[in-house]
Amino acid sequence: MLDLHGKNALVTGIANNRSIAWGIAQQLHAAGANLGVTYLPDERGRMEDKVKSLVEPLTPSLFLPCNVQDASQVEATFAAIKEQWGKLDILIHCLAFASKEDLSGDFSNTKVENFNLALDISAHSLISFSGAAKPLMTEGGSIVTLTYLGGARVIPNYNVMGVAKAALEMNVRYLAAELGSQNVRVNAISAGPIRTLASSAVGGILDMIHHVEEIAPLRRTVTQTEVGNAAAFLCSDLASGITGQVLYVDSGYSIMGM
């Protein structure tokens, strides 16, 4: 049975009720996990207010600001986990960013600053989170990140984010190899295209979704709940033998050649 009672789970990347992280948080909560939630702080505190009221029904026992570009906020997040929970069992890394100008047009125009920004936020953050989580996963654990097919194949307009996802997927393998001896598993879910704040920045996202609806074996794209269910599975003992993998939750789209 999928049971996460007694597990402490940190969920990052909730921006609104369309966020994949929101779908994951709901399924972890339904399976009995004790939740901690981080949000990306802004100057006016709007994100804090929005995310706080959204997650209230899930009664998170930690609610913290965490911009992955700010090392002190990452440190404070894991210090709070250590102080209030003592141990961490589950870490959901569900965030990414690239400048909108780099998510359409010619890939060869990508500037080094924008390349570094996309790789820093979208890929390196998994390394910094995992390094901070490592000493707290004293009873083993599960780390899950979100990737997309554009990290393995060329998808129009995905551009620098595809390179960031390729790095992220390789991070998963290196981290799985390092953390396996302490029974910490690291996996990625490669989700099919879903309309969210982040995906709306990718040029032609609606065309991508319509294409999946025509081609994918299931003739539709996936929902946040379906991704959440797969994440809950990967975080549970049912997946105790799975690490270093990319699990496609994409209605089967990635198997098609034409």
Residue numbers annotated as active site: 148, 158
Task: Assess 15 for contact with ligand NAD (CB under 6 A).
Answer: yes
Sequence letter at residue 63: F
Nearest approach in angstroms of CB 139 to ligand NAD is: 27
Q: Of the candidates 9, 90, 132, 146, which one interacts with ligand NAD according to CB under 6 A?
A: 146
Task: Between 87 and 211, name the residue whose CB sits nearer to ligand NAD.
Answer: 211
Under 8 Å between Cβ of 168 and 126: yes
Nearest approach in angstroms of CB 157 to ligand NAD is: 12
The backbone torsions φ and ψ at residue 30, rounded to the nearest 5 degrees and listed phi first, read -60, -30
Count Cα atoms within 13 angstroms, Cβ side, for 81: 31
User: Which residue stretch of 1-9, 26-34, 61-69, 212-220 sits at the interface with ligand NAD (rule: CB under 6 A)?
Assistant: 61-69
Q: What residues numbered 212-241 form the site for ligand NAD, per CB under 6 A?
A: none
Under 8 Å between Cβ of 35 and 25: yes
Q: What residues numbered 159-198 form the site for ligand NAD, per CB under 6 A?
A: 191, 193-194, 196-198
d(CA 122, CA 193) in angstroms, rounded, equals 17
The size of the interface with ligand NAD (CB under 6 A), counted in residues, is 27
Burial class of residue 11 (count of CB atoms within 10 Å of its CB; 0-12, 13-18, 19+): buried
Q: What residues numbered 67-96 form the site for ligand NAD, per CB under 6 A?
A: 67-69, 94-96
The residue ranges that bind ligand NAD (CB under 6 A) are 13-15, 18-21, 40, 66-69, 94-97, 121, 146-148, 191, 193-194, 196-199
